[in-house]
Amino acid sequence: MAYKPSEDRYKTMKYRRCGKSGLLLPAISLGLWHNFGHVDEYENGKKMMQYAFDQGITHFDLANNYGPPPGSAEENFGKMLKEDLMSYRDEMIISTKAGYHMWEGPYGDWGSRKYILSSLDQSLKRMGLEYVDIFYHHRPDPNTPIEESALALDHAVKQGKALYVGVSNYKPEQTAEIAKIFKELKTPFVIHQPRYSMFDRWVEDGLLDTLASHGVGSIVFSPLAQGLLTDKYLKGIPKDSRAAKDWGFLKSDHITEEKINKVLALQEVAESRGQTISQLAIAWLLRNDVVTSVLIGASSVEQLKQNLASIDNIAFSQQELDEIEKILKG
């Protein structure tokens, strides 16, 4: 049976303005970093895509190297688009990135004009698209002038291959530098994608203020600290978890008694609000207007459903915020 999206898909999702641009993003966006590669079950990914769109998630975030293997998340996403969603393309915000290792040789990594524009062409081909809505430089290149990377992104817009541009993992001073270049070029620089969670708050040390001053929005990734801000590790490390495999950003030695005690204390706050710990963690990020959207991953429709419920309660009393701050700094 052909997929037909829910007619009620826009009734419950909250949409937030991306900086001072005309772009609105859903409060929660779906990232395809994990669980959408060739090593994963295709039909499971397809069910999550359909469910997300049915719930008003209009933004789907990819990168050239997502998989594994690299490129396979874009290939699978392109297949899902062709099978189910291409007729709804104008209702979707699709993003991809270039900046990490993608192919062998001196032109398959970092931030040169050669790499960035070649990577975008490859991404569009894998997804079967003429353009993406947002194209990011995935990380700053210490050996390439920021101006060169900025001009490559600007050229992608002028070619009609991207509508907006963004950066990811840029520090405050690097963000300010590239924002100035984009302003001079009149490039639609609308978004920064940094890592941000209750346990990883580096963006509060200047980046959020920089974004606000330049009218740039943000979409934050790893909001649950790679699963640490859930109930998954409260009774030990499950054998099938990322921490058990010691791959990615979460290692087994990150799961300390101190962190678990903080999660248990945060869980009490969450329960008093009628939320799970993961829902609390996502809502806490959305309390800040500079955070346009929270980027979540999911391994099942049920997990996606639980995290989407976060938007039902994103208001905090000052007493709750003070209690959370006390726990996090304790």
pLDDT of residue 238 exceeding 60: no
- The shares of helix, strand and coil residues in the chain, as percent rounded to the nearest 5, are 45, 15, 40
Tokens standing for 107? Answer: 């032109």
Instruction: Decide: helix, strand or coil at residue 25.
Output: strand
Is residue 211 within 8 A of residue 290, CB to CB? The reply is yes
Within the chain, where are the H helices?
42-54, 72-80, 113-127, 146-158, 172-185, 207-214, 242-245, 257-272, 277-286, 301-308, 318-329
Going by pLDDT thresholds of 50, 70 and 90, the confidence category of residue 69 is very high
pLDDT of residue 243 exceeding 60: no
- Mean predicted lDDT score pLDDT of the chain: 95
- Give the list of residues 6+ apart from residue 232 with CB closer than 8 angstroms, or none: 238, 241
In percent, how much of the chain has pLDDT > 90? 91
Is residue 216 within 8 A of residue 191, CB to CB? The reply is yes
pLDDT of residue 244 exceeding 50: no
State mean pLDDT over 293-320. 97
pLDDT number for residue 291: 98
Could you tell me which residues are beta bridge partners of residue 96? 135
pLDDT of residue 41 exceeding 50: yes
Distance of alpha carbon 216 from alpha carbon 222, whole angstroms? 20
- Give the list of residues 6+ apart from residue 70 with CB closer than 8 angstroms, or none: 64, 101, 102
Domain ranges of the chain: 15-225+288-312
Distance of alpha carbon 145 from alpha carbon 113, whole angstroms? 10
pLDDT of residue 76 exceeding 70: yes
Give the CA radius of gyration of the chain: 19
DSSP for 30-44, please give it.
EE-SSS-STTS-HHH
pLDDT number for residue 250: 53
- For 15-225+288-312, CATH number out of 3.20.20.100, 3.30.365.10, 3.50.50.60, 3.30.2230.10 equals 3.20.20.100
